[in-house]
Amino acid sequence: MGALDQPQFEQIVGAGCTACGGRTLEIKSFIDRSLVLMLADPNNEGRWVHDGEKFVDGTYRITCTSCAHVVFASEVCPRCNAEGGLGKALGTPSRLAVPKRCPKCSELELLAVALVPATARYGGGETPKPKPLAEWGEDGYHVVAFACHECDNAVVAERCPLCEAPGPLRPRP
């Protein structure tokens, strides 16, 4: 698991802010985004493909929206739990380069999955809608894998895609 497990997460979110009693918390997490690339350029901005468990698993910071009190913060890598990995994850660009064409069949359109830092608000009756904190090509936006729909060729990052620590990676929920 990541820095938090599901019961810990629910306890923190359920308790609200421990400083001012505010109910709305801002949660930052690395979550899965899928996008289609044409000649290595994104066709669109992509879409989230994480679920609730993955959102919890990637959580690295929780703050109060009223008083900015930090309710929870972790510096480990949100993907592999390496010490100090969060700074690397947020401060470096993607390492896995997506080629212009499928290396096997030369198809121009490839599907990529990335881990992207996002922020979402919990509490106050709002449905959490994550907003990306990094765009394609920026620091923090890390391609995890790409695949070809024509020939099923798939390439997955061998090291941790966020902080480059050697594998094997811990399983995700």
Q: Which of residues 128-147 bind Zn ion (CB under 5 A)?
A: none
Among 3, 4, 17, 98, indicate the residue that binds Zn ion (CB under 5 A).
Answer: 17
Q: How far is the CB of 77 from Zn ion (least distance, A)?
A: 3
64 is a site residue for Zn ion (CB under 5 A):
yes
Exposure b/e, 65-82, CB count within 10 A at least 16 = b:
beeeeebbebebbbbbbb
The backbone torsions φ and ψ at residue 11, rounded to the nearest 5 degrees and listed phi first, read -65, -45
Measure the CA angle with vertex 163, ends 122 and 54; round to 5°.
35
78 is a site residue for Zn ion (CB under 5 A):
no
Q: How far is the CB of 153 from Zn ion (least distance, A)?
A: 5
24 is a site residue for Zn ion (CB under 5 A):
no
74 is a site residue for Zn ion (CB under 5 A):
no
